[in-house]
């Protein structure tokens, strides 16, 4: 018997290489996991929203392979991406007598994947794990490339590890149960790949934005596959973000400020990134890198994806100042200088700093 029909994108990282399997009816088929190493125990980590939909089906698929199989259900949401929640995973691993060969399965969106991955990186200094992303955002971005971690009250994703999974299972059927707001949030990260890496993909998204919003299976399959290909190529060149990989953070510097400033979970990560891309595009224009028409084109597409294109006010007294303050703790910052991902309209992106005055102009323009 063979694994169910699917396409595969390979992440090339020497002895840490792994496949992303993309298809429908994948995650609950035991054959999907046939090549994984055996172990006496496994732990599925999921959240309270995803568990009722998919946890039992994943358990059924895995129970023949792992004699001691347990499921841990975490509270759902970015607000729970904390030490406290992470510790629930360690508690469960130790209570169930899990050892160094125990396999962790992250079943859910980006928060579940990031926390489970960091738990896998840290439990007994590293156990294997598998990503089973059930949101569009996780399938096209966060489950791929090995970034794991948790938030700190003073900054997003400030504590974590680069730690690669054994495989990523992108089951497109799970996207059919996604709330519309989460679908839009995922489209933000899909759109991102266009301006930083592939203008023909950007044009394809523009042509298929209605089909994507309507969850057309073929359109979603292509969007997930092409996004994973671009991410795989970037990550293979720069796993630990010494340089190039930072371009994947297009829109994220402004976006992280929105998330932190409003309180984690008020806006979805993808919503903040959508709006952040509009702001980063305006900044690129003010730096003379891109023309107004391209900024407008991107803004229209982001809006069609159901995403916000104007930023929230984070302070009545000094809104731009508050954005700047929050952005100074971004991981790309160096010696207190904020660094932005900028675009040039020709699918090239770069990381650079910008004068505060210019950044203030952009914030004033984009926040109503």
Active-site residue set = 125, 147, 189, 231, 241, 245, 249, 252, 256, 269
Which residues make beta-bridge pairs with 168?
Answer: 20, 131
Between 162 and 204, CB nearer to a copy of itself:
162
Residue 192 vs 332, nearer CB to a copy of itself: 332
Give residues 126-165 in contact with a copy of itself (rule: CB under 8 A).
126, 147-149, 152, 154-155, 158-162
As measured in angstroms, the least distance from the Cβ of 126 to a copy of itself is 7
Residues near a copy of itself (CB under 8 A), total: 38
In whole angstroms, how close is the CB of 102 to a copy of itself at the nearest point?
A: 10
Alpha-carbon distance of 208 to 223, in angstroms, equals 9
CB 302 within 8 A of CB 251: no
| Binding characters for a copy of itself, 18-57, by CB under 8 A (x = yes) | ----------------------xx----------------
C-alpha distances in Å from residue 167, one per residue of 101, 104, 111, 240: 16, 11, 18, 18
- Residue 213's CB is within 10 A of a number of other CB atoms, namely 16
Options 189-197, 222-230, 328-336, 346-354: segment touching a copy of itself (CB under 8 A)? 328-336
Min dist CB 333 to a copy of itself, Å, is: 6
What x-and-dash track marks residues 160-199 binding a copy of itself by CB under 8 A?
xxx-------------------------------------
Q: How far is CA 45 from CA 115, 149, 186, in A?
A: 9, 15, 21
Residues 31, 164: contact at Cβ < 8 Å? no
Both tokens of residue 103? Answer: 């396999």
- Report the C-alpha dihedral over residues 52, 58, 61, 66, rounded to 10 degrees: -120
Sequence-separated contacts (24+) of 291-297 with Cβ below 8 Å: 291/345, 294/195, 294/343, 294/345, 297/206
- Cβ proximity to a copy of itself: between 117 and 186 the closer is 117
Among 17, 63, 95, 177, binds a copy of itself (CB under 8 A): 95
The tokens for 56 are 């039992």
- Looking at beta carbons only, is 149 or 274 nearer to a copy of itself? 149
CA distances from 78 to 36, 48, 75, 172, 197 (A): 30, 13, 10, 23, 28
Which range of residues in 98-106, 176-184, 219-227, 298-306 is near a copy of itself by CB under 8 A? 98-106
- Binding to a copy of itself (CB under 8 A): which residues in 52-91? 83, 87, 90-91
Say if strands 349-352 and 340-343 run parallel, antiparallel, or are unpaired.
antiparallel
306 binds a copy of itself (CB under 8 A): no
Candidate residues 213, 329, 350, 365; the one interacting with a copy of itself per rule CB under 8 A: 329
Work out the angle at residue 24's Cα, subtended by the Cα atoms of residues 18 and 137, and round it to the nearest 5 degrees.
65
Residues 6+ apart with CB under 8 A from 358: 283, 286, 287
Q: Which is nearer to a copy of itself, 287 or 329 (CB)?
A: 329
Retrieve residue 179's tokens: 């709330």
240 binds a copy of itself (CB under 8 A): yes
Q: Which of 121, 178, 349, 362 binds a copy of itself (CB under 8 A)?
A: 121
Instruction: State which residue, 240 or 348, has the beta carbon closest to a copy of itself.
Output: 240
DSSP state of 367: B
CA 163 – CA 135 distance, rounded (Å):
20
Catalog residues that contact a copy of itself under the rule CB under 8 A: 40-41, 83, 87, 90-91, 94-95, 97, 99-101, 121-126, 147-149, 152, 154-155, 158-162, 240-241, 328-329, 331, 333-336
């Amino acid at each position: 018997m063979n694994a169910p029909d699917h396409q595969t994108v390979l992440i090339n990282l020497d002895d840490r290489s792994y496949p992303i399997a993309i298809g429908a009816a994948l995650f609950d088929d035991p054959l999907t996991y046939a090549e994984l190493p055996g172990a006496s125990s496994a732990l599925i980590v999921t959240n309270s929203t995803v568990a009722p939909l998919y946890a039992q089906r994943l358990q059924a698929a895995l129970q023949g392979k792992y004699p001691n199989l347990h499921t841990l259900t975490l509270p759902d949401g970015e607000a729970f991406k904390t030490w406290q929640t992470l510790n629930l995973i360690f508690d469960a691993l130790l209570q169930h007598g899990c050892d160094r060969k125990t396999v962790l399965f992250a079943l859910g969106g980006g928060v579940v994947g990031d926390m489970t991955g960091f738990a896998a990186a840290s439990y007994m200094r590293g156990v294997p794990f598998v990503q089973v992303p059930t949101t569009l955002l996780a399938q096209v971005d966060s489950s791929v490339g090995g970034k794991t971690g948790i938030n700190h009250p003073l900054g997003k994703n400030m504590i974590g590890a680069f730690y690669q999974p054994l495989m990523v299972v992108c089951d497109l059927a799970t996207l059919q149960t996604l709330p519309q707001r989460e679908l839009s949030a995922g489209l933000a990260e899909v759109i991102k790949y266009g301006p930083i890496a592939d203008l023909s993909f950007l044009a394809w998204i523009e042509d298929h934005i209605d089909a994507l919003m309507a969850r057309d299976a073929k359109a979603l399959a292509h969007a997930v596959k092409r996004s994973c290909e671009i991410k795989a190529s970037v990550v293979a060149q720069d796993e630990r973000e010494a340089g190039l990989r930072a371009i994947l953070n297009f829109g994220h510097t402004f976006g992280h400020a929105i998330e932190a400033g409003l309180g984690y979970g008020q806006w979805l990560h993808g919503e903040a990134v959508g709006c952040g891309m509009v702001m980063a595009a305006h900044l690129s224009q003010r730096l003379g890198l891109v023309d107004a028409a391209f900024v407008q084109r991107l803004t229209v597409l982001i809006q069609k994806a159901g995403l916000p294109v104007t930023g929230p006010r984070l302070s009545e007294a000094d809104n731009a100042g508050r954005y700047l303050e929050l952005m100074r703790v971004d991981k790309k910052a160096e010696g207190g200088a904020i660094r932005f991902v900028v675009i040039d309209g020709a699918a090239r992106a770069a990381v650079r700093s910008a004068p505060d005055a210019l950044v203030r102009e952009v914030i004033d323009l984009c926040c109503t």
